[in-house]
C-alpha cells in the first residue's frame, strides 16, 4: 500500500539512484543524504523511500514510518555530530518547502541561532 514513486519527484529519483546523492544512512524504508546546499556543519535530509508529499500526509498515512524518519535523524546526528540537532519539516511553499516529497532537515554540528524567517 506504499505510494509508488512519483514521476518527476527529485527525491524519488534520489531514492531510486537515478540522481546521485551523498547517502549517510539507508534502511528498508528510510534514506538520509547530505543537503546539496548545507546551512550548518551537519545538514542532512531524511526521507521515507515511499513518496508522501509532506509531513502531515506522512503522519496520517503511516505514523510508524514518520517515527522511523525521526529515529534515523537522531542516529545520523549521533554518528556525524554530537547528537544534538534541530529537525525541521517545511510544510507548504510559504514555509519554504520546495521539494514536495517529505524530508526532515537534520541540522547541527554548531550552536544554532533561532531565525525562523
Query: For Zn ion, which stretch binds (CB under 5 A), given 45-53, 58-66, 79-87, 104-112?
Result: 45-53
Nearer to ligand 5GP by C-beta: 29 or 97?
A: 97
Q: What gap in Å lies between CA 92 and CA 34, rounded to an integer? A: 22
C-alpha closest to that of 77 among 24, 23, 14: 24
Helix (H) or strand (E) holding 59: helix 55-61
**Taking CB under 6 A as the rule, does residue 56 contact ligand 5GP?**
no
Helix (H) or strand (E) holding 86: strand 85-88
Nearer to ligand 5GP by C-beta: 1 or 7?
A: 7
Residue 91 binding result from Zn ion, ligand 5GP, none, given CB thresholds of 5 to 8 Å by partner type: none
- 103 as an active site residue: the answer is yes
Name the residues that contact ligand 5GP, by CB under 6 A. 10, 19, 21, 33-37, 45, 90, 96-99
Q: Which residues are catalytic?
A: 103
Amino acid at each position: 500500500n506504499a505510494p509508488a514513486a512519483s514521476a518527476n519527484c527529485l527525491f524519488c529519483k534520489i531514492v531510486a539512484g537515478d540522481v546521485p546523492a551523498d547517502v549517510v544512512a539507508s534502511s528498508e524504508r528510510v534514506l538520509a543524504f547530505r543537503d546539496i546546499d548545507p546551512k550548518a556543519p551537519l545538514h542532512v535530509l531524511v526521507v521515507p523511500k515511499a513518496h508522501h508529499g509532506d509531513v502531515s500526509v506522512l503522519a496520517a498515512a503511516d505514523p510508524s514510518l514518520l517515527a522511523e524518519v525521526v529515529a534515523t535523524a537522531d542516529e545520523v546526528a549521533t554518528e556525524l555530530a554530537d547528537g544534538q540537532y534541530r529537525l525541521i519539516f517545511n510544510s507548504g511553499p510559504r514555509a519554504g518547502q520546495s521539494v514536495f516529497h517529505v524530508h526532515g532537515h537534520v541540522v547541527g554540528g554548531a550552536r544554532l541561532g533561532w531565525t525562523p524567517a
